[in-house]
Amino acid sequence: MTAAGHRIAVQQVAGAGRRSRSLELILQLEERRAPRSLLRPAAPLAATAGQGNHDLTIDLTGRSAHGHAPVLTVDFEGQRELAAGLAAMLAGGVRPTLTARLNGVAVAEARPMIGDRVWLSRAASELCASAITLIEMCVTRFAAGKLLPLATPIPLAPQRHGRDLIWRYLPHLVAGLGKRALGRLGGNRPFYWRTAHRLIEGPGIAEGPDSSNVPFSELADDGKRFYADPFVFEWRDRLYLFVEEYPYALGRGIISVAECRPDGRMEAPRAVLEEPHHLSYPQVFAHDGEVYMIPESSSGNELVLYRAEHFPHAWVREAVLVEGKKLNDMTLLIRDDRFWLFGSEQRGEGSASDTMVVYAAKALAGPWSPHPMNPVLIDRRAARPGGPFILTADGRTLLPLQDGTEVYGGGLGIAELTVLSDNEVQFGPVRPVVPGEAWARKGIHTLSRSGRLEVVDSCG
């Protein structure tokens, strides 16, 4: 917050900071699994004197009385105490919710995505990281005069005792480890994706429940790699499918392309772009007579614009759009001669898939600036894009969004972008995309279409 220009004063509260014995036991048990968990005690912040009256009190103890300044608090699953909130999370199936309250009134929510549902120390790191981001989001909106009560009030839940945690944790851990062991015995691969395609006439998945019943054909692989993150691009009356190709022996993604023949058959993918770090999500588009690509390259801590030197097989770096950030699946929208990028950002120990950020520029090559209301939202159901924007015939702007409620890649929804300005970004409700007879796999993860060619992917 100091980097954002806020002046901070720290005050220690007598009697605060007592640790739950149940939580201490769990941390000892999991020390080798998550030695750097954010649950572990950190050095206390030194108290600093404030200069005059302050505008906002951020209470991390649950013990501050309301003074002349509004008080911001965060509770977890409706619980003021962390250990009680963790117990409530385990009881509810590890679908956590954080609520920020201003003088007791709910003003913001966060629904973190949990990557490791077995080891509590790892899950709690993602929760703590989301709490930090939620506070940052609230402070930004408070300073802008936009921190308003939620449309639907969220009352505090009946308060649990922290001792409940250990009795929820032990059966949860045993069940989780047992499930993993059974998966290994069954020969489950750590991760595997399937990409599929079809030619259709008329409405497709984006328009509503899939009623065409035209079956998808899987993009064949040789068992030594998988294909994921499919994007369709039409160029000079020919249809191309760009994908992430992940050779297991290489251990990172590269970008490949296959041409779709007029009869719907897909050629074998050929590699066209490789970097020392992982690449995926190959969003290809045309602008001013040139063809460009913005793939995901978060593991390289950069977002890069590539230009096709010889389409579709030769690409060159055109510009680095954003440096020093772990941005995921950044998705381009061009509107009113402005360029916008929507995607998720991994912050600290948080998830890569639950925090949406937006960037804007007046030119494709930049400079790109973060939206002043970043992060826009924290929601495992609606923060990470799952394909290009969809511009409908009636003028709506829709964005496929990944739903990581159960697992990464477990589902997809579509939401309308209702407000986009230099001061605000808002989406409407998410409409879930449910696999139908044409694609009855686990769940859709990416959706893309151009002309008659529609493509999807899913995990497992």
- pLDDT tens, position by position, 64-106: 666 688 999 999 999 988 889 999 999 888 889 999 999 999 9
Does domain 21-185 match CATH 3.40.50? yes
| CA dist., res. 176 & res. 178, Å (int) | 5
**Are the CB atoms for 360 and 368 separated by under 8 Å?**
yes
Residues of the chain with CATH 2.115.10.20: 193-459
**Taking all residues of the chain, what is their mean pLDDT, rounded to a whole number?**
90
The span from the CA of 69 to the CA of 71, in Å, is: 6
**Rounded distance, CA 401 to CA 409, Å?**
11
Cross-strand partners of 233? 240
- Give the per-residue pLDDT at 436: 62
Instruction: Please give the structure tokens belonging to residue 330.
Output: 């950044």
Round to whole Å and give the CA distance between 182 and 446.
Answer: 28
**Which helix (H) or strand (E) covers residue 99, if one does?**
strand 98-102
- Give me the pLDDT at residue 49, please: 66
The phi and psi torsions of 394 (rounded to 5 degrees) equal -95, 15
At residue 162, the pLDDT reads 76
Quick one: pLDDT at residue 11? 80
Give the pLDDT score at 35.
75
Q: At what angle do helices 82-91 and 164-185 cross, to 10 degrees?
A: 50
Report the alpha-carbon distance of residue 165 to residue 262 in Å, rounded. Answer: 59
CA distance 382 to 402: 6
Predicted local distance difference test score (pLDDT) of residue 421: 96
Helix or strand (DSSP H, E) at 233: strand 225-235
Q: What does residue 135 show for φ and ψ, rounded to 5 degrees?
A: -65, -45
Report CA-CA distances (Å) from 173 to 68, 186, 199, 233, 409: 45, 20, 46, 45, 23
DSSP state of 267: P
> What's the burial of 392, exposed, middle or buried (CB within 10 Å: 0-12/13-18/19+)?
exposed
For 1-21, what is each residue's pLDDT tens digit? 777 788 888 887 766 656 788
Phi, psi of 392 (to 5 degrees): -85, 165
Euclidean distance between CA atoms 218 and 143, whole angstroms: 50
CA distances 213 to 1, 125, 421, 437, Å, are 52, 43, 39, 6
Give me the pLDDT at residue 6, please.
82
Amino acid 39: pLDDT: 78
Burial-class residue 225 by CB neighbours within 10 Å (0-12, 13-18, 19+). middle
DSSP per-residue codes, 23-69:
HHHHHHHTTTT-TT-TTS--PPPPP----S--S-EE-SSS-PPP-SS
Supply the pLDDT for residue 284.
98
Task: In whole angstroms, give the CA distance from residue 365 to residue 359.
Answer: 12
Which residues of the chain form CATH 3.40.50? 21-185
Report the pLDDT value the prediction gives residue 332, as an integer from 0 to 100: 99
Asked whether 294 and 307 are in contact (CB, 8 A), the reply is no
Regarding the domain with residue range 193-459, which homologous superfamily does it belong to in the CATH classification?
A: Glycosyl hydrolase domain; family 43 (2.115.10.20)
Question: 230: cis peptide before it, omega within 30°?
Answer: no
Closest to 292 in 3D by CA, of 273, 281, 303, 305: 305
Say what the pLDDT of residue 18 is. 64
Spans in the chain with pLDDT lower than 70: 14-18, 47, 49-52, 62-67, 186-190, 210-212, 435-442, 460
